[in-house]
Amino acid sequence: MLSLSVIAESTTIYAKPDLSPLGQNIADQGSKYYTFQSKVFESDGQHHRYKVWLGIAKNADRTKSQAAIYLLDGNAVMDRLKDDLLKQLSEQDAPILVAIGYDSKLPFESKLRSLDYTPADETGKPSIDPRNPDRMSGGSQIFRQFILNTLDPWIASQVQIDKNRKALWGHSYGGLFVIDSFLNSHGFSHYFAASPSLTWADQRILNNAEKVSPTQVNGQNLMLFEGDLNLKKHEKISPNLDLKMIENNRKLSLILQEKGANTRLLIYPNLSHGQVFQASLLDVLNHRWF
């Protein structure tokens, strides 16, 4: 049975993200509760320079395997992590934080994430993003190989991860990557897709979900997040806006549920596509749904 929840969001969230260059984050400033280190990687396939932040609670027992969550759009995520949140996490079952960003000062690298986070068409090769001719798309398989084959071994050299509590979170195009990874790998135990751009490329990810073998997703855990905020009159429409966002998320959940997946859809009243970024991030961390 499809689990659908509605949560009243009380966190103060701004409607539009600030796309100006970022200043210091909690890793630069230092945390009382988490130790952070960062490393820059270069992907052989995409020739992108990724900056990855690894956060481990200072009170963690490093002799034991730990729960971990991999967070896409890592630059923006790190800008949102504050010590009061990390204090709360450290007082509970503090998860390992793996923020995957780019070697950049910007919160979002639109061209790079467009290629990395989206699934390829039937050719299996990158192609022009149908929403923006100035961007490429379809590189999710290569990006996933980077995470599983390059990033994971480095993480394993630093800390032990509990494979049964290894989560992946992403928003918008990042949400597409989460779902694409859910359909094509068993690299994670829990998948969190926040306001995924399901109408992208003629609903490619929905079509892929309909085709996936039940053996691939049976027993796997996927949680979807969406806001229900309606557009105001004359408000500019974002290319990422899905006018049937809740309906499409429900459709995806039911498709995968029929194949044996464990799915859940959480709806935020009065939150927009962009606002779901922080709301879902905080909820996943605070409620520890992995």
Q: Which of 48, 171, 190, 273 is catalytic?
A: 273
Name the strand (E) or helix (H) holding 75.
Answer: helix 74-80
Question: Nearest Cα to 46, choosing from 132, 123, 120, 146?
Answer: 146
DSSP labels, 247-285: HHHHHHHHHHHHTT-EEEEEEETT--TTTHHHHHHHHHH
Active site residue 273: yes
Active site residue 189: no
Q: Which of 172, 181, 253, 280 is catalytic?
A: 172
Beta bridge partners of residue 191, listed in sequence order: 168, 222
How large is the angle between the packed helices 173-184 and 200-211, nearest 10 degrees?
A: 20
- The beta-strand segments (E) located in 63-145 are 66-71, 96-102, 127-129, 132-137
Compute the distance between CA of residue 215 and CA of residue 119 in angstroms, rounded to an integer: 20
Contact of 203 with 249, CB cutoff 8 Å: no
Mind telling me the catalytic residues? 172, 273
